[in-house]
Structure 1
Amino acid sequence: METTQLTEKKLDVTVLEPRMKHPTIFEWFDALKGGESFVIHNDHDPKPLYYQLLGERGNIFKWEYLDQGPEIWEVRISKLTPEEGETVGELVAKDYRKAQVFKKFGIDFCCGGKKSVKQVCKEKGISEDQLEQELLALDATEKARETEYDKWEPGFLADYIVNMHHKYVREAIPALYEYTTKIARVHGQRHPELLEVVKHFTNVANELESHMPKEERVLFPYIKQLDEARKSGVKMEPAAFGSIQNPINMMEMEHDHAGRELEMIRELTNDYTLPADACATYTVAFKKLQEFEDDLFRHIHLENNILFPKALEMEKEVVK
């Protein structure tokens, strides 16, 4: 791709070999920064390109017809800025590998998933260009087989969360409480931060133990009712709690509380860095805390960024 072409920002597709047309357009698009654009000049409607671009790059561009034939077709393709584009949660919902990139930069993709990339970069003093490059590098690699949770039926996803993540939390809490209290008792004098770790883990455990039954007894059954009504094409009366947005707001607030407690634990432990005098229990405790954090963040992500938005859309469709 020639620099002069990029400077002119106009690509005459008619002079390219057929096999090179779409690859060249994609090359130009990938070279754009947020807010930049270029124009493609063609002799027919390039609408198939729109669908290919949407499928392979996602909703990160604007498609604007400048001339619509019959002999000349011109379209301006603009790359949206991170603020205009998808949220952190939406990006992770489409490709969970991106969670690791956000985690590397200390970006909360579950509780803070509704923020734009631009917003979180500004809040944390992160280079947007550096983050964008790492995200684009993932796009350029072959996507390993990752469970596409966003394509699951909402009712099935709700059951999955209960049977996998709620089950894990209930099994993990007693063991983690035992490990954290033990290392605080044995090592607390030399490492007083462990006493704070116990306090914050107790807080998150108590939060989740009261939180999960609310989802299992009220919110998730209602989501499954919405799902069945949608499939059957029937209308439902409004729930006693009003809009589903009300319990969702409560659940998201509790997710946020739990997430903040885990962030405090990570901060207190210096990202789970073991001290020189760490014993075997100390090592296991930190390993299990990291596993708990990873599972909970995926758990919250599935709800905040996938299940709850689906539920809100279903409510609009089926509730009278």
Structure 2
Amino acid sequence: MHDDATAAVPQETGALIDHILTNYHEMHRADLASLVPLAERVEQVYADDPDAPKGLAHALTMLAREMEDHMTKEEMILFPALRAGGGAGIEHPIAVMRADHDDHAESISLIRKLTADLAPPEHACGSWRSLYGGTATLLEELAAHIALENDVLFPRFEPAR
């Protein structure tokens, strides 16, 4: 899915953190800022449609809040510490970030459930299809982001597991 993108991932820790901030944190914020109002519109327009993704705007808002809190902790606390070389006790904030990553899975699961796994019905309009396409892209990018942190960045600073 993102194999060719992985080849372009910088190896040096500071450059890798910059890559994560630019390619994931900024993108997630922009994607969620457009997806939430789009979900609200689709839910309003199709309020009487049994296939409508009722609750999707709320689920995306909750994911956005979780992610904002998580990304802010990384930007303010963890990433500056990693740039400085980690140090004693760094595994504790990393463990918190890993737990947050696991928590995101619950929100993602709810979003998939509300949207029939992001498969729009035959009669879905362009906005509805765009909403599901954009949400699918967000979830793919989020999975790549989490994998990059969990599998590449964090292990550099953790004792051998």
TM-score (norm 2): 0.88
Q: Whose relative contact order is higher, 1 or 2, with alpha carbons under 8 Å and at least 6 apart?
A: 2
Q: Pick one of 242, 253, 260 that aligns with 2:106.
A: 260
What secondary structure, in the 3-state scheme, does the structure 1 residue paired with 2:157 have?
helix
Displacement of 1:202 in angstroms is: 1.2
What's the counterpart of residue 59 of structure 2? 200
Q: Which has the larger radius of gyration?
A: 1
| Contact 1:188/1:194 (8 A) holds in 2 | no
| Contact 2:54/2:114 (8 A) holds in 1 | no
Q: What is the 5 A alignment of 1:1-320? A: 97=3, 146-147=6-7, 149=9, 152-191=11-50, 194-226=53-85, 238=88, 243-312=89-158
Aligned equivalents of 2:5, 2:27: Cα separation in 1: 23
Aligned equivalents of 1:145, 1:264: Cα separation in 2: 27
Per-residue CA deviations over 1:148-179 (Å, capped at 9, x if unaligned) read: 64x70122111110121111011111100011
Displacement of 1:96 in angstroms is: 5.3
Q: Which aligned segments of 4 or more residues in structure 1 are displaced greater than 3 angstroms?
A: none
| Contact 1:154/1:311 (8 A) holds in 2 | no
RMSD: 2.3
Aligned equivalents of 2:103, 2:52: Cα separation in 1: 20
Displacement of 1:192 in angstroms is: 6.4
| Contact 1:180/1:197 (8 A) holds in 2 | yes
Aligned equivalents of 1:180, 1:252: Cα separation in 2: 28
Structure with greater strand percent: 1
**Count of residue pairs the alignment pairs up:** 160
Structure with greater helix percent: 2
Aligned identity (percent) is 28
Per-residue CA deviations over 1:257-284 (Å, capped at 9, x if unaligned) read: 2222112211222221111221111011
Aligned equivalents of 1:181, 1:303: Cα separation in 2: 31
- CA 1:288/1:278 → structure 2, altered by over 3 Å: closer, same or farther? same
Question: Counterpart amino acid of 1:296?
Answer: L
Gaps of 5+ in 2: none
Aligned equivalents of 1:265, 1:158: Cα separation in 2: 28
Aligned equivalents of 1:203, 1:195: Cα separation in 2: 14
TM-score (norm 1): 0.46
